């Protein structure tokens, strides 16, 4: 019976020793082995053997990229505005030994380093610059953190500003400013539209005036050419007809009333050619009398006697 108990105890002890000797490391994990309290080696994924009661395996470290969200931190900008900033940190453990022995609490150390660096960077910017320069702040913050955490065996892959929350009064002022800016832009666009409309209207009127002027010019040229052609035709007809001075004087006297016609004509000076025209017409009168004497009027026909009355018929015969 005692032998059986001893055998069972030995089997259990052997199983315990085997369990402490054979260790299986999962994928994307790493283990640090300490032998007699000092660093011995780093275990990689797979099955490995350690010396029981001599080697101690510390808690496994996750080698995947990890995401940490830090609570809002109050930060004062260069224009003395207190804002709350939420940050999101992405990091990866590259050296399990350094991450185990170089820093006691990696997450707490990274958080405090992020807060102090963020205050230094945002403290040199105004609120407007901090709101519009997030990419620049992210890059500067990542570079500083990566330099400081490199000796801890941790690589900072990225830092993102999750939110920047200014005070409520500042938000109201910013909203008013944005509304005023939108109203100003709307007014500018309206003024630009009115300006362009007036310019286009003026250009249209200018082109219309130019076209009207060209039309009037062309019409005047055509009228002048027509009048010139008419005058030339009349002139040719007069010379071809060879009129005598009496006919010309008669036409001249007919045109005199038209020359004197008009509301603004107060005084009318008789031209010197008027007497010559009268003399030409007076020369026509004797010739007409001479023609009348040469051709006397025909004598009147003799009067016929009246017809005798007709006697009424006798009723008795």
Which carries the bigger pLDDT value, residue 254 or residue 268? 254
Phi, psi of 63 (to 5 degrees): -95, 0
**Residue 43 sits in the same domain as residue 133:** no
**Residue 75 sits in the same domain as residue 53:** no
Signed CA dihedral, 251, 253, 259, 261: sign only:
negative
266-299 confidence digits (pLDDT tens): 665 555 555 665 565 555 555 444 444 555 555 4
Taking the CA atoms of the chain, what radius of gyration do you get in angstroms?
Answer: 64
33 falls within a domain: yes
Query: For the chain, what percent of residues have pLDDT higher than 90?
Result: 16
**Residue 115 sits in the same domain as residue 136:** yes
Extract the tokens encoding 293.
Answer: 């004497």
Cβ(156)–Cβ(142) below 8 Å: yes
**Residue 37 sits in the same domain as residue 110:** no
**Residue 19 sits in the same domain as residue 104:** no
pLDDT value at residue 166: 86
H/E stretch holding 39:
strand 38-43
pLDDT value at residue 312: 46
158 falls within a domain: yes
Tally of domains within the chain? 2
Per-residue pLDDT band for 261 (boundaries 50, 70, 90) equals: low
**Residue 70 sits in the same domain as residue 158:** yes
Cβ(136)–Cβ(59) below 8 Å: no
| CATH number reported for the structural domain that contains residue 131 in this entry | 3.30.479.30
Determine the average pLDDT of the residues in 92-100: 92
pLDDT value at residue 11: 81
Q: Domain range spanning residue 113?
A: 65-166
234 falls within a domain: no
Burial tier of 93 (Cβ tally within 10 Å: 0-12, 13-18, 19+): buried
**Residue 69 sits in the same domain as residue 42:** no
Q: Which of 168-177, 196-205, 241-250 has the lowest mean pLDDT?
A: 241-250
**Residue 96 sits in the same domain as residue 151:** yes
200 falls within a domain: no
283 falls within a domain: no
34 falls within a domain: yes
pLDDT at 9 exceeding the cut of 60: yes
Structural domain ending residue among the three candidates 118, 151, 166 = 166
User: Whole-model pTM above 0.85?
Assistant: no
Structural domain ending residue among the three candidates 142, 166, 190 = 166
pLDDT value at residue 130: 85
CA distances, 77 to each of 93, 121, 139, 160, 179 (Å): 33, 9, 18, 18, 24
**Residue 84 sits in the same domain as residue 141:** yes
10-59 confidence digits (pLDDT tens): 888 788 777 778 888 899 999 999 998 899 999 999 888 888 888 888 99
241 falls within a domain: no
Determine the average pLDDT of the residues in 108-117: 90
């Amino acid at each position: 019976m005692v032998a059986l108990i001893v055998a069972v105890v030995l089997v259990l002890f052997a199983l315990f020793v085997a369990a402490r000797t054979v260790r299986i490391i999962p994928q994307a994990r790493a283990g640090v082995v300490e032998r007699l309290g000092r660093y011995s080696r780093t275990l990689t994924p797979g099955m490995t053997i350690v010396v029981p009661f001599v080697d101690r395996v510390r808690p496994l470290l996750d080698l995947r990229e990890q995401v940490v969200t830090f609570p809002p931190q109050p930060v004062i900008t260069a224009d003395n505005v207190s804002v709350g900033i939420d940050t999101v940190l992405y990091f990866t453990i590259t050296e399990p030994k350094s991450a185990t022995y170089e820093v006691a609490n990696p997450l707490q150390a990274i958080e405090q380093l992020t807060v102090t660096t963020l205050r230094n960077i945002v403290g040199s910017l105004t609120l407007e610059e901090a709101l519009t320069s997030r990419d620049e702040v992210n890059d500067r913050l990542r570079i500083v953190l990566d330099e400081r955490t490199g000796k801890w065996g941790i690589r900072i892959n990225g830092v993102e500003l999750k939110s920047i929350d200014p005070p409520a009064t500042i938000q109201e002022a910013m909203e008013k400013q944005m509304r005023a800016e939108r109203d100003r832009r709307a007014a500018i666009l309206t003024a630009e539209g009115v300006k362009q409309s007036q310019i286009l209207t003026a250009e249209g009127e200018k082109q219309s005036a130019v076209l009207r002027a060209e039309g009037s010019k062309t019409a005047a040229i055509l009228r002048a050419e027509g009048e010139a052609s008419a005058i030339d035709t009349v002139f040719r007809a007069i010379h071809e007809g060879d009129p005598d001075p009496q006919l010309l004087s008669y036409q001249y006297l007919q045109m005199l009333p038209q020359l004197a016609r008009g509301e603004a004509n107060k005084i009318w000076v008789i031209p010197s050619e008027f007497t010559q025209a009268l003399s030409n017409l007076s020369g026509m009168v004797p010739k007409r009398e001479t023609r009348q004497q040469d051709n006397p009027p025909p004598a009147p026909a003799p009067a016929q006697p009246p017809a005798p009355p007709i006697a009424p018929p006798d009723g008795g015969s």
